[in-house]
């Protein structure tokens, strides 16, 4: 493959719902462009873009896959993205480094939740969208229904370029209203026969042709003037209008195809080659300092790593976009994120796992390199003369979590190394060694997301692992004020230990004043705050520590030891061993000994006094509550709502979005353990959800009683 100039490069992400036929379509594109001589299939596990063993095992795309083709003097870089919500990181990365989205829509199911979610991602990245209605040969395919759904969802910007004469098993003809021709295929697909439009379809095709002309003219004043003067536009002028409409998201063209039978794929490639904006026409990226970085091949070299894989017999493969300048084999670059130097030993253009070496790549192009020493996904590498850094890819929050452990304890360190490597491939995997829960928590996008990780570790790395139910990070707090005192005294020959602490605890809310007096058991305690420390806690909330000692009952040098004792108990709450939060502690009295008092004595006295006071202060357990938003087809609303209410959810609201519903709820994390699996089961995989931490709230009394009994039984067992 030759070296292409920036104005000859077009970058396209292939996105859409799971089952829309993207992998099969990509295979037909590779065949039509001559990259492969024979088309593979998902069923046979021999497609170019689904080449990882885990993808062949499960029969669905797990990773985004890059492939490049030459078409009509242009280089088209495609990224074929997984459709499953579990593997959304591939689509998000792809949309951020490509310039146009080819949204593949299933001709049987039309606009699905996955379509809507993917379209939202194109909105957030500001990328042009072309709709392709695929699988029109299927029994229940209905092009007109899909078109109506698209128009209902996205309005008059949806403009037909093509329409089929019939759908279902007999699909083999399509009218193209840009070319104003009938395309017809033999059963084996491939090269079409191009004919005049039959008389019975001419009025409809002409009307759609005129609508297309108007839509194209709307995006350029010069074209609009020509349209008013001449009443029409040439094909080249229409292409210019379509390209400009795509750039401003003023037009969403609709094409149709049958990727499985290789029908209309050649015409699709032609349309993309002629109408999709080149890299040179797209707005510049901004670096982390907010400065525009133009795709200019004469500027200093800068490249962004958007994907990393580890492949058999090769090792680490880094996929990148050239943000500016030229990247050449042998270049020495600086990793702006990690401060390390890297040498580019080889450069490749790729088609799945097939690589073709190339001497250089210019601004805007996408390629791969191997065996970089210290480079992760999201890193920027620069040549001399620039210090660009990019951080434009934002991944979604995790939705599914499990505790993970190696079957053999001796393999724990090896497991952590593998997890770190795999996270460099997919940043939506989050690994946390939780000191609080005493578990390694693995979070991802769904059950299938973690299931594939487990398969890869056990089959590729030969390391048996197991998933466990993750513990919940509960919190403890108090609901009323209480008082306690504790004397620590120990005598064992020579200097002993002595410390006595009197303190009050009360629940704390931000900004609340401190009373001057407290009453306990008919006795009044006057407080004079000499010093107040507000300590934000790592696990959320605050500890407010007040020194109200008068008359030197406890020397000031022992106050840090008392605070240390209190903090020690805050880290292991008296009820269930969970972190405590939002407590004000007032040390108001105590005693010390001129010889036997020391830091350890007051630390233990403070710890035990706090523990006793905490237990008498109406202690309660708090649980993490998450904001959950579910997008689902309207027919499943009742079942989904019933399932959520069975999970102690509080329904916060509902809204309709043109055939789809949005359901908002607050749900305890404890109840979200298997939610992605349950939602998929209820809706046949046609719903999706997001979740985000909201707040800690008191658990119901029955739940607290159960947790206390569980902790008591566990403590006895230990």
Three-state DSSP class for 155?
helix
Where residue 242 falls among pLDDT bands split at 50, 70, 90?
Answer: very high
**The pLDDT of residue 97:** 96
- Average pLDDT (477-484) is 96
CA distances from 423 to 238, 260, 315, 436, 455 (A): 45, 34, 15, 22, 15
**The pLDDT of residue 84:** 86
**The pLDDT of residue 300:** 96
Q: For 396-481, where are the E strands, in sequence order?
A: 400-406, 430-434, 439-444, 465-468, 475-477
**The pLDDT of residue 348:** 95
How many residues would you count in the chain?
A: 718
**The pLDDT of residue 310:** 83
Three-state DSSP class for 297?
coil
Q: Is the pLDDT of residue 272 over 80?
A: yes
Q: Can you tell me the distance from the alpha carbon of 174 to that of 107, in angstroms, rounded to the nearest whole number? A: 14
Q: Can you tell me the distance from the alpha carbon of 619 to that of 560, in angstroms, rounded to the nearest whole number? A: 25
Identify the H or E element spanning 315.
Answer: strand 315-324
Domains along the chain with CATH numbers:
6-209+251-281 (3.40.50.300), 285-382 (2.40.30.10), 400-471 (3.30.70.870), 479-618 (3.30.230.10), 622-703 (3.30.70.240)
- Average pLDDT (691-718) is 88
- Of 136-145, 485-494, 617-626, the least confident: 485-494
- Average pLDDT (450-460) is 92
CA distances from 675 to 395, 477, 698 (A): 20, 28, 22
| CB burial string 130-157: b at 16+ within 10 A, e below | bbbbbbbbbeebbbebbbebbbebbeeb
Q: Can you tell me the distance from the alpha carbon of 214 to that of 237, in angstroms, rounded to the nearest whole number? A: 11
Do 128 and 10 contact (CB within 8 A), yes or no? no
Q: Is the pLDDT of residue 247 over 70?
A: yes
Look up tokens 């993205």; give the residue.
81
DSSP state of 284: P
Residue 99 CA, distance from chain mean position: 20
**The pLDDT of residue 232:** 82
The packing angle between helices 22-32 and 265-275, to 10°, is 80
CA distances from 419 to 88, 319, 442, 456 (A): 19, 20, 9, 11
Q: Is the pLDDT of residue 136 over 80?
A: yes
- Average pLDDT (307-328) is 91
Look up tokens 């396209």; give the residue.
12
What is the chain's mean pLDDT, rounded?
Answer: 92
- Average pLDDT (37-48) is 84
Nearest Cα to Cα of residue 548 among 521, 570, 527, 520:
527
- Of 209-223, 288-302, 552-566, the least confident: 209-223
Three-state DSSP class for 466?
strand
Q: Is the pLDDT of residue 718 over 70?
A: no
Q: Is the pLDDT of residue 314 over 90?
A: no
pLDDT 10s digits, 164-186? 999 999 999 999 999 999 999 99
Q: Can you tell me the distance from the alpha carbon of 243 to that of 276, in angstroms, rounded to the nearest whole number? A: 6
Nearest Cα to Cα of residue 135 among 262, 295, 14, 231:
262
- Average pLDDT (88-114) is 94
- Average pLDDT (308-320) is 87
Q: Is the pLDDT of residue 43 over 90?
A: no
- Of 14-23, 27-36, 421-430, 460-469, the least confident: 421-430
- Concatenating the DSSP letter of every residue in 106-138 gives ETTTBS-HHHHHHHHHHHHHT--EEEEEE-TTS
**The pLDDT of residue 717:** 67
């Amino acid at each position: 493959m030759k070296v292409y100039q920036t104005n000859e490069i077009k970058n396209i992400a292939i996105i859409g719902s799971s089952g829309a036929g993207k992998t099969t379509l990509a295979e037909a594109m590779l065949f039509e462009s001559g990259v492969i001589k024979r088309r593979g299939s998902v069923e046979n596990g021999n497609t170019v873009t689904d080449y990882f063993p885990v993808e062949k095992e499960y029969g669905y795309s797990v990773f985004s896959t890059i492939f490049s083709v030459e078409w009509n003097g242009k280089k088209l870089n495609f990224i074929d993205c997984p459709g499953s919500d579990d593997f959304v990181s591939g689509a998000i990365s792809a949309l951020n480094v490509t310039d146009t989205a080819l949204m593949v829509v299933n001709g049987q199911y039309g606009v699905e939740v996955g379509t809507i979610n993917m379209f939202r991602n194109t909105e957030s990245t500001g990328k042009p969208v072309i709709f392709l209605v695929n699988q029109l040969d299927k029994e229940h395919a209905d092009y007109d229904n899909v078109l109506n759904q698209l128009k209902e969802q996205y309005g008059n910007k949806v403009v037909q370029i093509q329409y089929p004469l019939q759908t279902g098993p007999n699909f083999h003809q399509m009218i193209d209203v840009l070319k104003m021709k009938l395309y017809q295929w033999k059963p084996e697909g491939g090269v079409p026969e191009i004919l005049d439009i039959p008389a019975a379809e001419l009025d409809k095709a002409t009307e759609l042709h005129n609508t297309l002309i108007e839509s194209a003219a709307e995006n350029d004043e010069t074209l609009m003037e020509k349209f008013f003067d001449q009443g029409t536009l040439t094909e080249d002028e229409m292409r210019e209008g379509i390209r400009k409409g795509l750039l401003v998201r003023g037009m969403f063209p609709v094409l149709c195809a049958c990727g499985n039978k290789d029908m209309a794929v050649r015409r699709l490639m032609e349309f993309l080659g002629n109408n999709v904006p080149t890299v040179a026409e797209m707005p510049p990226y901004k670096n982390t300092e907010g400065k525009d970085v133009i795709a200019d091949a004469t500027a200093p070299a800068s490249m962004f790593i958007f994907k990393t894989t580890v492949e058999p017999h090769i090792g680490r493969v880094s996929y990148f976009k050239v943000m500016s300048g030229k990247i050449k084999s042998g270049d020495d670059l600086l990793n702006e994120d990690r401060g390390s130097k890297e040498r580019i030993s080889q450069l490749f253009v790729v088609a799945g796992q097939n690589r073709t070496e190339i001497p250089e790549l210019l601004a805007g192009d996408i390629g791969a390199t191997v065996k970089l020493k210290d480079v992760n996904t999201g890193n920027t590498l620069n040549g001399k003369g620039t210090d660009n850094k990019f951080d434009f890819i934002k991944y979604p929050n995790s939705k599914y979590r499990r505790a993970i452990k190696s079957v053999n304890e001796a393999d724990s360190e090896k497991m952590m190394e593998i997890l770190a490597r795999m996270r460099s491939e997919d940043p939506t995997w989050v690994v946390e060694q939780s000191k609080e829960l005493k578990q390694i928590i693995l979070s991802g996008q769904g059950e299938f997301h973690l299931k594939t990780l487990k398969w890869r570790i056990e089959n590729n790395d030969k390391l048996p692992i197991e998933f466990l139910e993750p513990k919940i990070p509960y919190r403890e707090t108090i609901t009323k004020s209480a008082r306690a005192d504790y004397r620590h005294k120990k005598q064992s020959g020579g200097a002993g230990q002595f410390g006595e602490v009197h303190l009050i605890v009360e629940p704390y809310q931000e900004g609340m004043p401190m009373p001057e007096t407290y009453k306990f058991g008919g006795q009044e305690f006057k407080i004079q705050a000499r010093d107040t420390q507000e300590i934000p806690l790592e696990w959320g909330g605050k500890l407010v520590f007040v020194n109200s000692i008068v008359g030197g009952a406890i020397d000031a040098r022992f106050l840090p030891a008392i605070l240390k004792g209190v903090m020690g108990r805050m880290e292991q709450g008296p009820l269930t061993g969970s972190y405590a939060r939002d407590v004000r502690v007032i040390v108001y009295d105590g005693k010390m000994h001129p010889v036997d008092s020391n830091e350890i004595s007051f630390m233990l006295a403070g710890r035990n006094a706090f523990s006793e006071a905490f237990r008498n202060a109406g202690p309660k357990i708090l649980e993490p509550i998450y904001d959950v938003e579910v997008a689902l087809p309207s027919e499943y609303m009742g079942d989904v709502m019933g399932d959520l209410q069975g999970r102690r959810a509080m329904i916060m609201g509902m809204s309709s979005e043109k055939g789809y519903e949005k359901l908002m709820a607050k749900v305890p994390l404890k109840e979200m353990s298997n939610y992605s699996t349950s939602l998929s089961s209820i809706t046949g995989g046609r719903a999706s959800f997001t979740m985000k931490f909201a707040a800690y709230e008191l658990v119901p009394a029955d739940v607290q009683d159960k947790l206390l009994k569980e902790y008591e039984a566990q403590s006895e067992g230990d």
